[in-house]
Amino acid sequence: MHYSVGVEYALHCLIYLATPSVKPVLTVKELAEFQGISETYLSKIFTKLSKNGIVKATPGVTGGYQLKQDPSVVTFWDVVQAVEGEKQIFRCKNIIGTCALHDKKTEAEECPGKVDCLINDVMLDAEKQMELYLKEKNLKWLTEKLEKKLTKEYQDLTADWFNG
């Protein structure tokens, strides 16, 4: 299983947009510079986040991006889907249908070992469990957790950096 680094970048950037002590509109340039990541790549990520209704662009000299919805509504799963698109992690190739016993039967006959693929069932169930877990975690939860974990000094330095 593999999510692109874009999911990580998106979640890190969204933290700052969801942090009350940071100004509500931030530019991709500010976010990229703060985190030391590619502005071009981050811009592509924010285009995806915008198309999926997670952020909205604010035009003008003081423009940038801001959250389109309350942080309690935006889940980790929403971000994964926006950045990665809808794709299954596991794709069953149905090799059960190519087993040696299956080949011995004619099309009219049923293979005695033909059953639903239990491996596929387990993998799809695991994928669903991960989806449900990521839907439980939202930006509000994340910012509250970080507020408890990060020192007050770090939080103040971060807010000062973005707020100028």
> What is the number of structural domains in the chain?
1
Instruction: Indicate the length of the chain as a whole number.
Output: 164
Burial label for 22, CB within 10 Å (0-12, 13-18, 19+), is buried
Per-residue pLDDT of the chain (164 residues; tens, 9 = 90+): 578 999 999 999 999 999 999 999 999 999 999 999 999 999 999 999 999 999 999 998 889 999 999 999 999 999 999 999 987 777 776 666 666 665 555 555 555 555 567 888 888 899 999 999 999 999 999 999 999 999 999 999 999 999 98
Residue 50 belongs to domain with CATH number: 1.10.10.10
Look up residue 111 and give its two tokens: 């293979």
Task: Give the separation between CA 78 and CA 101, rounded to whole angstroms.
Answer: 44
Q: Which domain holds residue 10?
A: 5-163
> Which of 69, 55, 74 minimizes the C-alpha distance to 138?
74
Whole-angstrom distance, CA of residue 154 vs CA of residue 143? 14
